[in-house]
Chains A and B, each alone.
Chain A
Amino acid sequence: MTRIKRGYIARRRRKKISLFASSFRGAHSILTRTITQQRIRALVSAYRDRDRKKRDFRRLWITRINAVIRGVGVSYSYSRLIHNLYKKQLLLNRKILAQIAISNRNCLYMISNEIRK
């Protein structure tokens, strides 16, 4: 067989991978073997967390709405608010409710009072 040097093939491949990991911390952006491993871990995390992100944000919105709604009165809570929303068939989702809670608390109180009747 003729002799074939590997030459620059490996270097080209690793350059692409190290471009991905160029902003990692410490040895994770410098050493080639760790770069390959860390890139794989980063992509796995990204894949898993794209679905987690939807769950996490919904949790956050629910916590925030709960925090504001409990200030309405005695024994009023997020669960009762959502029950009333569904009864009156109001289509506001939790993201919008949380934004309203942050920016304009009185507006949320008005909505909840309207729904309660």
Chain B
Amino acid sequence: LTLQKRTPDTNHAGKGDFTTVYPASEDSFLFLDCLDSQADYLRQKLKPSVSVEIGCGSGVISAHLVQHVLSDSSGVSGSSCACLCTDLNPAAALCTAVTCCQLMPVASDLAGCLRSGCADLVLANPPYVPTPDDEVGTSGIAAAWAGGIDGRQVIDRLLTEAERLLRPVPHLSAFYLLMLRENRPEEVALEMRCRGFKSMLVVERHCAGENLSVWRFERGGVEESEFRVF
């Protein structure tokens, strides 16, 4: 009888070789709750073959996806999903490899090194904190939270990157993005609607003075009412 851990262990993040890697925090846990609440959707409707997490940090989110959300009910690891993870910080890519050996990490600016249309699922817990623009994307741990004006500098680039990475219509694809109230999530949702995505607020929480929400942007798929003739 094996004990099933419900949260991936990321105790190695934030220390030693991984001092510059953002350890799992309240925002990460909200994202895990989002994925848990979307388990049926992910396993039965989306059924991703390729997932890409942009800005994986410790790897906790993708580890949870592959180990607990997508794995079968017996808890045996090995979902039919290749989980790719990117991070600007090479230490984070290595940390992710330690967090879960099933993940496929690569050091990259956003996901510029990945081919267009390769993903069914994109995940991003971005640097969302409003800061001066010159703090964005620097080396070291500040890159994990510095989001520039309104915390939107990286988020705005992510919208375009996710759109590029996801399989084109008619294939069903989804993008989950975590935001802070100051990022103006409803405005981002409207922008995604303009780009052809259905927007949905999945989870919302007030943690440590931050109002955080995770949104799902969905594109493609066959409507229930459509009748397909083969």
Chains A and B come from one and the same complex: no
- B residues near A (Cβ < 8 Å) are none
- A residues near B (Cβ < 8 Å) are none
